[in-house]
Structure 1
């Protein structure tokens, strides 16, 4: 009986944690990644229970043939999550929690809904609905958004009425999809609430695409580039509060500094890496539409105004010769727990998934990649790394990015152990 109560309490806390603030921040924290790992470890013990009117919004697949609209894949989800969270009767899974879970499931590069992912995501998140869709080619200057809703308890996909409209009015297309979803969930809206939901995040397509590009960069740990995109979004629409909040979040968490954001002090930016199939965002297309490291001005708006029958030239990125950097969590000089724990090494670029972590005291560890930007070192009580009182130095050897650039210094991180720290305090 006690185990049943404990399990139900745990599941309730998991759900509350992932839906508490559906539009809190855009940075995926280590706490969220730990939460996602915990959810996956409980997957086999989860029953078919779902939370009524709880919904997870997956990313939309860009099938329009317009590479410059790739940021809209996450953007449609961002807009829908923001609006659905305003409806009191709906509980929405926070986007960063969903992204952390998708990363752990090795689906983070796409996050697209299909017949396999929707049931599993719905089960893991205790959601009764999962939604997502496709961005399709309409007429020469139109888009069509095709969406569907997966009812988790019924194990059933229901296609929604497609939403078609002008490319430069994507905010209107999102509203059509939004109200189709709410109707499917059979939730009645008051005239006041409907009027509130009809207000767009921004009427500037240029600002929205810059915002969405920034969010994707943030998910991949490229925080300075994310900040550049948020700044560009604010140039296009100074009242875009989500971009303001996202930029403040990066500054407040110390992920970017004022010096880095200052063009005078920052100097030339390192070249963008060549886009890879699993990037989730084509950096080449961002350069093409003016969302690169330089100030954009009206470049994006001009690109969106072009007829689709005109040739679209994507410039080739210069060779990437910038060494990747790495940060450690916990930070260097932290006292490690000998009874078990881990260190996560986060890289500034997509890595070639090679390399090895070496310990100065030859302690026994487990190690491996989590995606292509995070490398984990962990240990347990029966494989303690604290086999003497000396400081523990972890050296990263052989790590290089996808452009074959070796890791920049520092590549070694020194820690103390709680056992040695406690003994020294006693002495």
Structure 2
């Protein structure tokens, strides 16, 4: 994630966009398994962490253990005067809690993707990953050349992370209007579509099946303990309250839990 709290209010949402596109680019590397951003947002919400608190490397090991990740990439977006920006990044190793700097990426706000791509390659260099030509070419692809589309998309991500779906929907629609070839806004709009009345994939049974499926899939891919890999699948299921407290604070792998479950339910339970 990127901390944009030091940017002017109208530019601060770019931290959300830069974080998302960085995660997307890193997921194009076969050696890496990148955790879905919605899972990260869910954990931050449960822990009551702001973006600036999350990007503090001292908090990263705790968040990383809850996410079941081995490394956490964090960063800060700073203004450098005029329309200049700089990304400063760090990679936190969850196993030993060490932190390594990635090096800075600088440019103008109008060349946001050039800055973001530079940052991604610095992260990969820091990880010692050698890219294939196909991977490098995929990372260098630019989703949109429209600054207005990018900014609207970033505002949509910001609203979505704050639980404001209607405001997010309007911004994603604006982004799509500025650039018809920018495919990400359409994907977000589809994800924000209201659930169907007939249930199916959007019913609770479908959601529960999705949780189980994704948990098993992530365990198979990462080889992580089942408790770690299923902690935040689909938005904040924690298997045991005692382990919830210990998981974030202990540097050791948590014990496997054989029974007991805590389900966190949000929303207006009196709504018709």
Output the TM-score relative to the length of structure 2: 0.70
Q: Cα RMSD between the aligned structures?
A: 2.4
1:150 aligned onto 2:81? no
In structure 2, the residue matched to 1:345 is 267
Deviation string for 1:263-311 (max 9, x for gaps)?
xxxxxxxxxxxxxxxxxxxxxxxxxxxxxxxxxxxxxxxxxxxxxxxxx
Deviation string for 1:49-99 (max 9, x for gaps)?
xxxxxxxxx2333424x2221111211110111111111110111100111
Q: CA deviation at 1:109?
A: 6.0
Distance (whole Å) between structure 1 residues aligned to residue 126 and residue 195 of structure 2: 39
In structure 2, the residue matched to 1:60 is 3
> Which of 4, 18, 24 does residue 82 from structure 1 map onto?
24
1:119 aligned onto 2:61? yes
Please tell me whether Structure 1 or Structure 2 has the larger radius of gyration of its CA atoms. Answer: 1
In structure 1, the residue matched to 2:35 is 93
| Structure 2, unpaired ranges of 5+ | 197-261
In structure 1, the residue matched to 2:242 is none
Distance (whole Å) between structure 2 residues aligned to residue 96 and residue 154 of structure 1: 26
Kindly report which structure 2 residues correspond to 1:270-349, keeping only aligned pairs within 5 A, or say none.
Answer: 344-346=266-268
Q: How many residue pairs end up in the alignment?
A: 208
Q: CA deviation at 1:342?
A: 7.3
Change beyond 3 A, Cα 1:131–1:231: same
Q: CA deviation at 1:110?
A: 4.9
Change beyond 3 A, Cα 1:230–1:111: farther
In structure 2, the residue matched to 1:179 is 121
Output the TM-score relative to the length of structure 1: 0.45
Change beyond 3 A, Cα 1:138–1:223: same
Distance (whole Å) between structure 2 residues aligned to residue 345 and residue 252 of structure 1: 15
Kindly report which structure 2 residues correspond to 1:242-253, keeping only aligned pairs within 5 A, or say none.
Answer: 242-251=184-193, 253=195
In structure 1, the residue matched to 2:222 is none
In structure 2, the residue matched to 1:241 is 183
Deviation string for 1:128-175 (max 9, x for gaps)?
211111111224231111111112223211122211111101111110
Distance (whole Å) between structure 2 residues aligned to residue 413 and residue 191 of structure 1: 53
| Structure 1, unpaired ranges of 5+ | 1-57, 255-339, 347-393, 395-411, 415-427
Deviation string for 1:288-346 (max 9, x for gaps)?
xxxxxxxxxxxxxxxxxxxxxxxxxxxxxxxxxxxxxxxxxxxxxxxxxxxx9875325
Which structure has more RCO (C-alpha within 8 Å, separation ≥ 6)?
2
On the 8 A contact 1:144/1:164 being kept in 2, the answer is yes
Change beyond 3 A, Cα 1:189–1:102: same
Change beyond 3 A, Cα 1:214–1:89: same
